[in-house]
Amino acid sequence: MTTVGGQIGNIDLVKQLNGAVVYRLIDQQGPISRIQIAELSQLAPASITKITRQLLDRGLIKEVEQQASTGGRRAVSIVTENRAFHTVAVRLGRNGATITLYNLSGKPLAEEAYLLPERTQETLEKGLLDAIAAFINTFSNKIRELIAIAISMPGLIDPEDGIVKYMPHINVDEWQLKKAIRDRFNVSCFVGHDIRGLALAEHYFGATQDCEDSLLVRVHRGTGAGFIINGQIFLGKNRNVGELGHIQIDPLGERCYCGNFGCLETVASNAAIEQRVRNLLNQGYQSKLTLDDCSISAICKAANKGDELAINVIELVGRYLGRGISMAINLFNPQKVVITGDIAEAEKTLLAAIQSCIDTQVLINFRKDLPVVVSQLDHRSAIGSFALVKRSMLNGVLLQHLLGDNND
C-alpha cells in the first residue's frame, strides 16, 4: 500500500496517479523520450515501460521520429494521439445548448445550436438528451470513439457527483444530470459550472497557460469568476466559489435578484449596461447609438469608434468591475487576470478603467507585473465543457477508465 496525501491509497489509485503523471508529461512536453519521462517523473524505468506500453496499445500515444543519439542506442520520442478520441461538449444556457465535437487536442470538428425552451427539469432533461442524441447521429461519420460527454452551465453544481442543485432560470431538485447522461449514452460524463470551466479552458488552451494562479472574470447575464490555484480550479469544500457578481459595490444601488442591494451584477451585466445606455438616450444625451440598436455589441463598437456616451458607460462599468477585481486580487494574489464576455470587445476602454482601480486599490506587491488581458477563447462556445474532459485525462480519472483499470 502507498501513502498519498496523508491517506493510504489502494493499488488502483496508485495506477491512476502514476499513469496520469506519465500521460501528462507526454501531453505537455512531447515529443519526449522514456528516459526523459523517468527523469522528470522520478518513476522507475520499469513502470515507465509498462505504462507507455499500455498507452501505446490503447492508441493514446504514438512513437515518432527518433531523437539524436547522445551515445548508445537512440531514444524514441513519444507524443499523444488525439485524432481517434472524441468528446461531445455542451454549453447549456437559458434558452438552448451549444453542442461541439472536439478531439482530444481541443480541436472543434462540428458545432450546432439547439433551442431548449423547456421550463421544467423533466422537459429540459428530455430536450437536452434528445439534442445530444441528434447531434451524435448527425455527425456520427466524424466520431471514431466517443469517450465522454461534458456539460457546463450556470448555477450551483456538484461536479463530483454531477448533480445540479440550482439553476437561475428553472427550478431543479437535485438534478442527477450525470446519471441521466450515462444511462442514456453509456459513456463517461462530466458536469461543471460554465465560468469555472472557462477558467480551466483558459489555463489549458488560452491566455493563462503560462501561469499557475489566475483569475477569470466573465460579464454576460451576470458577473462571475473562476480561480485557478496551483494549476487547479479552486472549488472549496462546498464545491462552489467565485460569486464575484454578488459583492456589494453600491449600498444605495438597485436590488439584486439575490435580495441584496447594489451587487456588482446590477451594474456589470449585459442587460444593465444596455439599460443604462437606453436611460441616457432617453434623457437626451447625444450618441451615434439609438434606442433601436443599443445592444452590448453596438455599445462596444461605438466606444471603439470614439462615441462619448458609449465610452463613458464602458468606463463606468470598468471602474465597478475594477473594484470587485481589486478585492479578489488582494485576497488571492493571482499572476494574471482575464476578462471575458461581450464587453471585452471594447478592450482598450474597459481594461484602462479596470487598471486604474487596480493601481489605486491593490497592494503594490500584488499588482506589480500583474497583466490584465482579454480572453483568447470564445466565452459562448463549449470549450469550458471540453476542459472538464481534458482535466480528467490529465488527472488520470478518464485515462484509467479508457485503459480499463477501473470503472468511472
Domains and CATH numbers, the chain: 2-80 (1.10.10.10), 86-199+382-403 (3.30.420.40), 209-374 (3.30.420.40)
Distance CA 354, CA 344 (A): 12
Q: How far is CA 267 from CA 277, 299, 353, in A?
A: 12, 15, 15
Strands (E), 290-386: 336-341, 372-374
C-alpha cell at 211: 501561469
Helix axes 296-304, 347-361, angle to 10 degrees: 80
Q: What pLDDT, on the 0 to 100 scale, is given for residue 247?
A: 84
Q: What pLDDT, on the 0 to 100 scale, is given for residue 2?
A: 43
Q: What pLDDT, on the 0 to 100 scale, is given for residue 358?
A: 97
Distance CA 274, CA 294 (A): 6
- pLDDT digit string (tens) for the chain, length 408 residues: 344 444 445 777 888 888 899 999 999 998 999 999 999 999 998 999 999 999 999 999 998 876 555 555 566 899 999 999 999 999 998 889 999 999 999 999 999 999 997 779 999 999 999 999 999 999 999 999 999 999 999 888 888 899 999 888 788 899 999 999 999 999 999 999 999 999 999 999 999 999 999 999 999 988 989 999 999 988 766 656 667 878 888 888 888 887 788 888 888 999 999 999 999 999 999 999 999 988 999 999 999 999 999 999 999 999 999 999 999 999 999 999 999 999 999 999 999 999 999 999 999 999 999 999 999 898 889 999 999 999 999 999 999 999 984 444
Q: What pLDDT, on the 0 to 100 scale, is given for residue 238?
A: 62
Q: What pLDDT, on the 0 to 100 scale, is given for residue 355?
A: 97
Q: Using alpha carbons, select from 71, 159, 161, 217 the residue that is nearest to residue 385.
A: 159
C-alpha cell at 328: 479578489
Q: How far is CA 278 from CA 121, 197, 199, 252, 286, in A?
A: 35, 33, 32, 21, 12
State the amino acid at position 121 in one-letter form.
Q
Q: What pLDDT, on the 0 to 100 scale, is given for residue 72?
A: 56
Residue 356: which region, alpha, beta or left (left: phi > 0; alpha: psi -120 to 50)? Answer: alpha
Q: What pLDDT, on the 0 to 100 scale, is given for residue 141?
A: 96
Q: What pLDDT, on the 0 to 100 scale, is given for residue 171?
A: 87
Q: Using alpha carbons, select from 9, 6, 27 the residue that is nearest to residue 398.
A: 27
Q: What pLDDT, on the 0 to 100 scale, is given for residue 299?
A: 96
Distance CA 246, CA 319 (A): 16
